[in-house]
Amino acid sequence: MSDNWWRDAVVYQIYPRSFADGNGDGTGDLIGARQKLPYLAELGVDAIWLSPFYTSPLADGGYDVSDYRDVDPRFGTLGDFDALVEQAHALGIRVIVDIVPNHSSSAHPWFQEALAGKNRDRYIFRDAPNDWESIFGGPAWTQVSDGQWYLHLFDPEQPDLNWENPEVRAEFVDIIRFWLDRGVDGFRIDVAHGMIKADGLPDVGARDGRQVELLGHEPLPYFDQDGVHEIYREWRPILDSYGAIGVAEAWVESPQRLARYIGSDELHQAFNFDFMMAEFDAKSFRGIIDKSLAEADLVGAPTTWVLSNHDRYRHVTRYDSLAKAKAGTLLMLALPGSAYLYNGEELGLDEVLDLPDELREDPAFKRTGESRDGCRVPIPWGTGDLAWTNPWLPQPERWNALTAQAQENDPASTLNFYRAALKLRRGFNGPLHWLNAPDGVLAFKRGDRTVVVNISEQDYPLTGEILLASGPLSTDGSLPPNTAAWTKP
């Protein structure tokens, strides 16, 4: 495997609780994930990214970690993890794991010590709160029994760690080495822009509406502070010594700010959330692609493209149709750089919007009414031995036609469309060169391949050999609206 595998890799995100259930208890686990590795190898992915599987009360889907060096019993054991890594590597699949450094669980031994009045400097305590708000709604401060307040930019069960404390920095260096020694190939860094807060914790000030969204559009004293880059400059030599990578989840105000996280002395990649948040519109896509490629070129790192993940509605629903979602997928997979897929998108799954309120677990739901549970419903494998037993969130009946079992032998299925796309994607090379096209149409070349995405209201003529299209062509061979195609001379 090449040391530069990550520069054009396709990475498949596994949300362990919802991916595959290996022991029949209704919760996905590492045994189930390992059992599905041959499926992922056939799909054609280069790596998997495991969302948190660490010991956790699951107050926020595992992003509240109480033990960073162990597997939660609901997901398996360290032995199960080691077996997964070994089999993935045997199949040529790399393994990236989440790391959650901005905050721990309130059940973490460190925070329990802090509540008892010991070593509070590992977290951010103060005698009076400022005006900061939680991402999940409401104040970002909770008062403890002796009158002090602690900071939690997310749920009260996720207290923010104090990265000005050298003990915190040393602890995470040790955690990183622990998992690298177990064979992981990299880390996806949760809230990578959040660990350092502005000196003095200044107020944000009056704002219209909510103070903050995770996708930042303006400076905030608790996100994207310059000091965060010192952390990554410390981590990079460690990652390099293992041949591993770091990927930032950084919601910042501009591509220029995002580019600061990547480069030869910091992280290897940062998620391109602007692309995920783009409208299904040719002008919107074109502007974001151009800006993203230009900023990535400044630091010599590839852009990372993504359309769906565990925090946003699935793109079938955001784009209002499977046809548009498949066209967007062909656009994404043809762009220079790496691409991240979210488990189940290869089946064409939509967002489950009608979950009963009493089953929703997203901590933001009770504060804002917003819920990410709909993109976390366990993905459908099929009937019989493939079926889930009492899944932790119910699967909608409409998904019965979308199971992997139902799509396996259907050449027109979304699953086989993804398989074909990932195989053909390996034939793309070189930079992107835009071609002249009418309004509403995106057209570009990479090497000897041409990509056309028709978001206009008219059919668009195609030339050359059709390698793959996201939907049926018109009777005259032209590309209908809301369809994409890859061609070559």
Query: Has 42 been annotated as catalytic?
Result: no
Catalytic choice (29, 64, 155, 190): 190
Query: Has 190 been annotated as catalytic?
Result: yes
**Cα(134)–Cα(213) distance, integer angstroms:** 9
**Cα(105)–Cα(480) distance, integer angstroms:** 50
Question: CB–CB of 189/249 below 8 Å?
Answer: yes
**Cα(304)–Cα(247) distance, integer angstroms:** 9
Measured CA to CA in angstroms, residue 411 lies from 414, 421, 473, 479 at distances of: 9, 13, 16, 20
Burial of 25 (0-12, 13-18, 19+ CB in 10 A): middle
Sheet bearing 269-270, strands edge to edge = 269-270, 245-248, 186-189, 94-99, 47-50, 10-14, 338-342, 304-306
Read off the DSSP letter of residue 311.
Answer: T
**Cα(75)–Cα(31) distance, integer angstroms:** 8
Using alpha carbons only, how large is the chain's radius of gyration in Å? 23
Strands 483-488 and 449-454: antiparallel
In this structure, the number of other CB atoms found within 10 A of the CB of residue 383 comes to 11
The token duo for 125 is: 């305590």
The token duo for 186 is: 């990299």
The token duo for 455 is: 């978001």
Instruction: Say how far residue 115 (Cα) sits from the centre of its chain.
Output: 33
Q: Which residues contact 386 (CB under 8 A, 6 or more apart)?
A: 403, 404, 405
Catalytic choice (249, 266, 274, 373): 249
The token duo for 295 is: 């900023």
C-alpha dihedral sign at 462, 466, 468, 473 = positive
C-alpha dihedral sign at 456, 461, 464, 469 = positive
Nearest to 379 by CA among 12, 20, 13: 20
Burial of 333 (0-12, 13-18, 19+ CB in 10 A): buried
Q: How many CA atoms lie within 13 A of 102 on its CB side?
A: 27
Catalytically active residues are 190, 249
